[in-house]
Amino acid sequence: MKTNKTALLLMAAAIALIVLGAASGQQTAVLQKASQICMECIGLG
């Protein structure tokens, strides 16, 4: 049962952080950074 409790705790923490990030408007910054990293990986950036 300990594994299930740990997994639930980690899932709850992840959901809370996603909600906090979305509430503070960070999704645009994350998308821009992800796009830049992807462009650099294929040699366009």
User: Is the model's pTM score more than 0.85?
Assistant: no
Let me know: does 40 contact 34? Beta carbons within 8 Å.
Answer: no
Q: Which domain holds residue 29?
A: 2-41
Number of independent structural domains in the chain: 1
Q: DSSP letter for 34, please.
A: H
Q: DSSP letter for 1, please.
A: -
What pLDDT is recorded for position 1?
A: 55
Q: What is the pLDDT of residues 2-44, one digit of tens each?
A: 679 999 999 999 999 989 988 888 888 888 888 888 777 787 7
